[in-house]
Amino acid sequence: MTHTTKRAASLVAVFCMLVSLVASFGCVNASADTTFANFYSSEVYFSKYGVTDRYVFIQTDGSHNNQEVYAHYKYGTMYNNETGEWDEVWGDSLAQYVTTLSDGSKIWKASIRNNGGESQYAIKYVANGVEYWNNNNGNDFTTETLGDNCNITINRGGCNYYYGSYISAVVKNLAYEKTVKVRVTYDNWNSYEDVALGYSDTRADGTEVWNVRLDKQIANYENFHYCLYYTVNGQTYWANNFGANYDTTTKLYPY
């Protein structure tokens, strides 16, 4: 072997060592899959003229005190003059802390907007300078996704003085026999009534949509509140806006 060949071989060996070191130590600030943050649920709070605004709820396990949570979402497409194709446009929405659950996990809420088509998003979680991702094993999360820990969520709702209110829920199909109901008050919980929702349809992922129209007029919007519950296999699951319940301000949907 000549000196030149030996020198080249040595350089290659050094380069490989450096690459190995970068691979070993570079992951300190690199993106990585995580179980620190998981998708919980999403709900529509406005939809009109081809624009849909949606809340995305994210659940974190409380491993870090200093954390930032984002919904990384596709909100439309943009025409690329250079390629002559339509490119996806993605953005980040910083989630705000909502509440801490009984198991110590935390709920965060991000607001995303979609200008036509299906909402698509992933979770970006930043803690102590390290960025982690949860993209549903490469499939991203969509408008039809319910998180592992969520069995019922509000789909959308609407209120009208003359026509009462419309409420829609999404549930996991945990068994054929089930009941889905709304608990509603018109006098700020001095009294309430439970009304059954009716099955509407099954979505592509197997979750079911249940709807009801409440014909009773709302005399005072400030006193109108409601929550949803789902009974199946002897268990009852609630969707109550994480203890705050729903009202005419949290769910406005023109119908």
Task: Report pTM.
Answer: 0.76
16-25, 39-48, 94-103: the lowest-pLDDT one: 16-25
Q: Where are the domains of the chain?
A: 32-142, 152-247
- Summarize pLDDT for 90-122 with one digit per residue, the tens: 889 999 999 999 889 999 999 988 766 667 889
CATH architecture of 32-142: Sandwich (2.60)
Mean pLDDT of the chain: 80
Q: Give the residue-averaged pLDDT of 63-69.
A: 87
Q: Give the residue-averaged pLDDT of 197-208.
A: 92
151-155, 211-215, 238-242, 246-250: the lowest-pLDDT one: 246-250
Task: Write the DSSP string, the chain.
Answer: --HHHHHHHHHHHHHHHHHHHHHHHGGGSS-EE-SSEEEEEEEEEEEETTEEEEEEEEEE-S--SSEEEEEEEEEEEEEETTTTEEEEEEEEEE-EEEEE-TTS-EEEEEEEEESSS--EEEEEEEETTEEEEE-TTTT-EETT---TT-SEEEEEEEEETTTEEEEEEEE----SSEEEEEEEESSTTSS-EEEE-EEEEE-TTS-EEEEEEE-S--S-GGG-EEEEEEEETTEEEEESTTTT-EETTT-----
pLDDT at 186: 92
Q: Give the residue-averaged pLDDT of 162-168.
A: 73
**pLDDT at position 64 over 80:** yes
Q: Give the residue-averaged pLDDT of 198-207.
A: 91
**pLDDT at position 164 over 80:** no
Superfamily designation of domain 152-247: Carbohydrate binding type-21 domain (2.60.40.2440)
pLDDT at 237: 97
90-94, 167-171, 232-236, 245-249: the lowest-pLDDT one: 245-249
**pLDDT at position 87 over 80:** no
**pLDDT at position 35 over 80:** no
When pLDDT is cut at 50, 70 and 90, the band that residue 24 belongs to is very low
32-36, 53-57, 217-221: the lowest-pLDDT one: 32-36
pLDDT at 116: 61
Fold agreement (32-142, 152-247):
yes
